[in-house]
Amino acid sequence: MNNLPTNSGHSRGRGRGTKQKDDANRGLGLQLGQSSNEARPDKPVPPADALKTSEIIPKSKDTEAQAIEGDPRGSVRGRRLITEVVHSRPQGLTTKAGISGTKINVQTNYFKLLKRPCWTIFQYRVDFEPEVDNTRYRRGYLYEHKNILGGYIFDGTILFCTTQFNFKELVTKNHAGENITIKIKHVGLVEAADNQQFQVLNLLLRKAMESLSLQLVSRNYYDAKAKIKLNNYRVELWPGYQTSIRQHESDILLCADVVHKVMRTDTLYDILSEAIRDTENFKDAFRRQVMGMICLTDYNNKTYRIDDVDFGLNPLCKFNTKDGDISYVEYYKKRYNITIRDHKQPLVVSRPTEKNIRGGTDQLIMLVPELARATGMTDAMRANFQFMKAMSEFTRLNPDRRIERLRAFNKRLQSSKESMDVLKSWNIELDTALVDIPARVLFPEKIVFGNQKRFVCDNRADWTMEFRNNSMYSHVDIKRWYVITPQRNLRETEEFVKLCIRAASGMKMTISEPRYDKIADDRNGTYSQSIDNAVAQDPQIIMLVLKAPNEEKYSCIKKRTCVDRPVPSQVVTLKTIAPRKEKSAGLMSIATKVVIQMNAKLMGAPWMIELPLRGLMTVGFDVCHSSKNKNKSYGALVATMDMKSSNRYFSSVNEHMKGQELSDQMSMNMTYALKAFREHHGILPERILFFRDGVGDGQLHQVVNTEVKFLKTKLDEIYKSAGKEDGCRMAFIVVTKRINTRYFTKNRNPVPGTVVDDVITLPERYDFFLVSQAVRQGTVSPTNYNVIHDNIGLSADKLQMLSYKMTHMYYNFSGTCRVPAVCQYAHKLAFLIAESINRAPSSGLENQLYFL
């Protein structure tokens, strides 16, 4: 009937989470006892854990795969162990190691497996006679024979172990005393050379970690006993570990990283209580706060995404079981010895995921607010500077503290008898030392300003101060522009505009006095009308002042200026341009950054880098999913028009539905980009360096075997029609930021430009790690670059240097960024469309960085 999806993520709710709760919450039940006309199932449905096993489909591989050595908890479907390794390393590639730069040694967050597993895993199918539907019972019956079976993994149907059984049947008894025959049939082998062994190794490690009294929440294990309480914010931080074992260049390595889980101490019932106290229409208010939120039920340690609230159901409602109808109150008392206090609270609805539906489970999951704890952070929490600062003191670990925690984790694992018994039973031995590997620091880049003045970028990777003494590489004087500001804030706006004019003058750029449109109020319609009036005067750019950050107003402005009345626009808030006196010291710096941004939007170049290649087109592609419509995503492409001789860009963005292939749109947009390049230069680019962001490991197969092939075919067709018989010379690189790899230099963060291209890279990939940015707090995160197609004619060394160079060209920040600038531009564009505009922008802006 129902099923429990194990989704994870942060809450998108807007719970208040700041008021002191009333423990008694008296009177709540009386207010909730009214009937409701909201849509709900025809009849009450049982909690997710009251289902028949035959109706449950596989969960995510991390949360389900824990039944090792006959543990009756958790499971792993046999088919989930089969993972295809995507070989993206080009055939004939002799080396993927670079040579430029200064050689150094770095320490990584990896531990080496000292013994390579030499075992063969036997795979068996297990059936029960008479049939047992409940997987929990099936695992329990098998667990009774753990002394005979030894170490094993069992998901309810498939059994994996290192022992070859001579018997074919086992006999046990059920709770009624009836005999249950367990039939075991050998169906296959998993050899040591198979990729399946690494899935098994990860499962064994997770079982060993379970012996450390760690608690599984979603995908990772956390130490609830070491939780950090932030009582002022009703939040707990649970420290934990993220682990992965896989084959690297020559060794099997364990990657371990320290993570934290934000656990809120308030339940959904607390949020409901506050909605009742603080709002008249508490039902709508509660819905708004919890919709999209991820909650945790402590009784079964599972997470759910909240999709709705049914005020027509309450815990006294009954659902059907094989033993007859039972209410939620009775069920939780009988199953978990939990007493539900308020019998008139509504039930929270979690819809089955697409994966559930594909497995044949399409009924709703009902949760009791009292028993569901809110997880993650709300938007209000993220906007609370004091809260984020308090949290960062524990979550932003400096390299020395991170290394200390990793060593403590290893020592804890090695000193636990239960954990070591699990590892030794499978002949696994883990090294105690972090892996040291060779690395290189690339030569620093030279930032080129106006009059060909150069600044050698230092380890700060920031050249903001250099604008005090240098002009921009190229600029566009602003002679016609409008400033739209509320009438009551005119004085603050005028003062900031004067600062902008002064800052521009220092950079040898001329900004004339603007024309002001002093609006009487700050309603959306007023801004729209003012924009229409301004555009009629043909301005180069419009600056709009908001009283405070407001998503709705920002969306209205950007729709007007990007779609209806295409014109570059610069939105600023009073909090930024007119801060309190004690925070106004950096106002000139803010004005300088605004001027740089406006110049970039008008196709000026604030700075440049030394680029030895002429005729190079650099392309970035990223995808952003709409938070307002989960079924819609937006893919954005941004391409340079040869930075050696111009600073023009081409951008395009397309909407696609969830699960839709991107290859058609990507090749179509590339066709438009090549057309723009040819119109500007008269020829096609000699080389194309394509950076693809927004790709998870599960999507790599599609990108390698579909997108790249489709794109290459289309580009070769274009080039051959232009007389280039060799086709298009292109390198296609997948850029990944969400990785767990870290490396350190003498217990400190590596400097920008530190490259690792051996030992911890993957043998099936043409890949490298690059730290391009500097951080002031915490541990810097490298970016992984995976070259999945390459006929550009450049060595691995030059590809690494080019990738590093491109991280210096993001004009929204006068410093390096974590990914190549075109990737960051593509993300910025896709995010703007997904969050604020939700439609295609005007083609009249496609050659400008209007989305900065």
Three-state secondary structure call for residue 276: helix
C-alpha angle with apex 431: 427 to 434, nearest 5 degrees? 150
Residues forming a β-bridge with 622: 636
Which is nearest to 158 in space by CA: 182, 180, 184, 125? 125
Same domain, 554 and 683: no
- The answer to whether residues 817 and 719 belong to one domain is yes
Residue 199, classed as helix, strand or coil, is: helix
Tell me if residue 622 is catalytic: yes
User: Alpha-carbon torsion 516, 518, 522, 526, what sign?
Assistant: negative
Burial class (CB in 10 A: 0-12, 13-18, 19+), 226: exposed
Measured distance CA(205)–CA(281) in Å, rounded: 50
- Within 346-485, residue ranges assigned H as helices are 354-358, 379-383, 385-395, 399-415, 417-425
**From CA 394, how far away is CA 771, in angstroms rounded?**
23
Compute the half-sphere exposure of residue 459: CA atoms within 13 Å on the CB side of its CA. 7
For residue 484, is it within any domain? Answer: yes
pLDDT attached to residue 580: 63
The sign one gets for the Cα dihedral 55, 60, 64, 68 is positive
Query: 679 and 587, same structural domain?
Result: no
What is the distance between the alpha carbons of residues 538 and 532, in angstroms, rounded to a whole number?
A: 10
Region for 92 from its dihedrals, namely left if φ exceeds 0, alpha if ψ lies in -120 to 50, beta otherwise: left
Indicate whether 282 and 346 sit together in one domain: yes
- Two tokens, residue 752: 């920008």
Beta bridge mates, 262: 237
Residue 75: both structure tokens together: 């499971």
Residue 627 sits in a domain whose CATH number is 3.30.420.10
Taking the CA atoms of 232, 235, 239 and 244 in sequence, report the sign of the dihedral they define: negative
The enclosing H or E element of 362 equals none
Cα first-last separation, the chain: 49
Closest to 624 in 3D by CA, of 782, 851, 845? 851
As beta bridge partners, residue 230 has 235
Tell me how crowded residue 94 is: count the other CB atoms within 10 A of its CB.
7
Using the 3D structure, point to which of 334, 366, 396 is the last residue of a domain: 396
Q: Residues 582, 619: one domain? A: no
The pair of structure tokens assigned to 461 is 């990777």
> Is residue 6 a part of any domain in this protein?
yes
Of 397, 497, 534, 380, nearest to 13 by C-alpha is 380
In contact, 473 and 607? CB cutoff 8 Å: yes
SS3 811: coil
Burial class (CB within 10 angstroms; exposed 0-12, middle 13-18, buried 19+) of 125: middle
Question: Dihedrals φ, ψ of 399, to 5°?
Answer: -55, -40
Tokens, residue 97: 């190691």
Determine the Cα–Cα distance for residues 249 and 112; give it in Å rounded to an integer. 12
Please provide the DSSP assignment of 25-79 as one string.
-TTHHHHH-S---S---SS----GGGS-GGGPPP--HHHH---BTT-SS----GG
Whether a cis peptide bond, with omega within 30° of 0, leads into 444 is no
Is 423 part of a structural domain of the chain?
no
Matching residue, tokens 């390049």:
677
Same domain, 623 and 525: no
Bridge pairing between strands 754-756 and 767-771: antiparallel
The residues near 677 (Cβ < 8 Å, ≥ 6 apart) are 617, 639, 641, 642, 650, 684, 685
Structure tokens at 614: 């002429």
pLDDT tens, 788-828? 999 999 999 999 999 999 999 999 999 999 999 999 999 99
Give the number of residues written for the chain: 852
**Distance in angstroms (rounded) separating the CA atoms of residues 475 and 40:** 60
Q: Is residue 333 part of a domain?
A: yes
Alpha carbons 15 and 290: distance in angstroms, whole number: 7
CA atoms of 103 and 441, how far apart (whole Å): 7
Say if 106 falls within a structural domain. Answer: no
User: In 460-530, at which residue ranges do the beta strands (DSSP E only) sit?
Assistant: 481-486, 515-519
- Examine the domain organization and report whether 597 and 618 are in the same domain: no
551 shares a domain with 521: yes
Q: Which amino acid type is present at position 613?
A: L
Q: What is the CATH number of the domain that holds 45?
A: 2.170.260.10
Residue 851: inside a domain: no
Which tokens in the block code for residue 821?
A: 């600038």
Q: Are residues 641 and 758 in the same domain?
A: yes
CA gap 141, 178 in Å, rounded: 12
462 part of a folded domain = no
Contact 106, 744 (CB under 8 A): yes
Cross-strand partners of 185: 125
pLDDT the model gives residue 192: 62
Under DSSP, the state recorded for 840 is P
The CATH number of the domain where 516 resides is what? Answer: 3.40.50.2300
Which residues, including other chains, have CB under 8 Å from residue 177's CB and lie 6 or more apart? none
Low-confidence ranges of the chain (pLDDT < 70): 1-84, 192-194, 354-362, 580-585, 630, 645-646, 658-663
Report the 10 Å Cβ neighbour count for 301.
13
Q: How far is CA 175 from the centre of its chain?
A: 46
Q: Which one from 62, 155, 622, 790 is the annotated catalytic residue?
A: 622
Token pair listed for 303: 């997470």
* Integer CA distances (angstroms), 245 to 70, 634, 637, 693, 757, in order: 22, 33, 34, 24, 19
Is residue 778 assigned to a domain? yes
Phi, psi (rounded to 5 degrees) for 82: -85, 110
At 808 the three-state DSSP class reads: coil
Q: b/e string for 356-380 if b means 16 or more Cβ within 10 A?
A: beeeebebbbbbbbbbbbbbbbbee
423 vs 426: CA distance, rounded Å: 5
Among 601, 636, 659, where does a domain finish?
A: 601
The kind and range of the H/E element at 740 are none
Looking at the structure of the chain, the number of domains it has is 3
Distance CA 231, CA 370 (A): 20
The one-letter code for the residue type at 789 is: H
In angstroms, the Cα distances linking 174 to 133, 148, 236, 590 are 13, 19, 42, 73
Instruction: Give the residue ranges of DSSP H helices in 309-398.
Output: 328-336, 354-358, 379-383, 385-395
Find the catalytic residue in 155, 517, 522, 693: 693
CA separation for the pair 528, 519 (Å, rounded)? 11
Instruction: Judge if 691 and 813 occupy the same domain.
Output: yes
- Compute φ and ψ for 147, nearest 5 degrees: -65, -30
Distance in angstroms (rounded) separating the CA atoms of residues 142 and 137: 9
Which of 396, 415, 439 is where one domain is finished?
396
Model-level pTM?
A: 0.83
487 and 586 part of one domain: yes
Q: Which domain holds residue 342?
A: 1-60+219-396
**Among 533, 528, 536, 535, which residue's Cα sits nearest to residue 558?**
528
Q: Which two tokens stand for residue 778?
A: 């915490």
594 and 618 co-located in one domain: no
Burial class (CB in 10 A: 0-12, 13-18, 19+), 111: buried
Q: What's the pLDDT at 253?
A: 95
